[in-house]
Amino acid sequence: LADDPLGWFDFLKSFETGLLARSTLLRAISAMLPVDPDALGEAIDAGLVTSIPLGHDVTAADFLTGGLYSWLWRHEQEQRLRVSQGPVPGRCDREAWFRYWNVSKTGSLTAGEALRAVLRNFEASSLDRPRIEELQRRLGRVWEDSNRQRRAESGHCNPQELTLHEFLSEGGLYDLMEEEFGPDQALFGSKNSAPEDGSPAGRFSSEGCAFSPSCGSRSKARKRKEIVANIAATVLASSPRPTQPLPR
């Protein structure tokens, strides 16, 4: 498809009319990607995929320039990337998760790579814009918290990416992500789960519960420290202070 999109279209089109039936096009896409053809059709009708409406018969120009081919190309590349990455890491192997998510292999995890990881982990449908925007907002808060912490510790940080050491440090990005997303993890299947209807409906495969609360020893220790510190501050604030100088 990426090498010859027009040839792919010509292979599927009607030789009599030169047009491609919309239903045939959607079924062909669902055979290539984990997307439900009905869900994709609804997204197209809602204007979420293409810049122009698609009727019952689609021209090559509609397919190539209307936005559908661009959408299909991006998702096909993402699918190829997932296959090339191999099996997901072990549940609690944080360093392996960092390297698995760092698809650019630069040694620094970017905000975009972290977002891709969250969307995959929760099997967020590319057609479910509200869900994607919700997860993006939540990750944005976590990422900013990580930046503030890194600036407080070292006086500076790269706001767009972080190193493995920063990712693994106590209270670092992984701990923050685990605190934010861990409680939700039980709502989603493991890497071996499948949708009830047998179709992924536009969802990427689960990344195997990367934010499992059972792996949160570091974040739990951090929470305990915060609780103890808050209790100590409350006790000190409520203790009576002497009004006269203490005898020497």
Which region among 59-68, 72-81, 167-176, 224-233 has the lowest average model confidence (pLDDT)? 224-233
Q: What is residue 237's predicted lDDT score, i.e. its pLDDT?
A: 58
d(CA 79, CA 82): 5
d(CA 174, CA 98): 9
Is 22 part of a structural domain of the chain? yes
Q: Can you give the residue range of the structural domain that contains 174?
A: 89-227
Is 30 part of a structural domain of the chain? yes
Same domain, 66 and 153: no
Same domain, 68 and 93: no
d(CA 29, CA 76): 10
Is 109 part of a structural domain of the chain? yes
Predicted confidence band of residue 91 (pLDDT cuts 50, 70, 90): confident
In 153-165, which positions are buried (b, 16+ CB within 10 angstroms) versus exposed (e)?
eeeebeeebbbbe
Average pLDDT value for the chain: 80
Q: Can you give the CATH number for the domain in which 59 is found?
A: 1.10.238
HSE (side-chain half, CA atoms, 13 Å) at 104 = 11
HSE (side-chain half, CA atoms, 13 Å) at 35 = 26
**Domain termination residue (choose one: 74, 102, 123):** 74
Same domain, 96 and 52: no
Is 129 part of a structural domain of the chain? yes
The whole-model pTM stands at: 0.68
Same domain, 187 and 115: yes
Q: Is the pLDDT of residue 248 over 50?
A: no
Is 107 part of a structural domain of the chain? yes
Q: What is the pLDDT of residues 116-175, one digit of tens each?
A: 999 988 888 888 889 999 999 999 999 999 999 999 988 889 999 999 999 999 889 999
Q: What is residue 25's predicted lDDT score, i.e. its pLDDT?
A: 96
Q: Is the pLDDT of residue 198 over 80?
A: no
Q: Is the pLDDT of residue 62 over 70?
A: yes
Is 108 part of a structural domain of the chain? yes
3-state secondary structure (DSSP) of residue 201: coil
Element (H, E) at 107: none
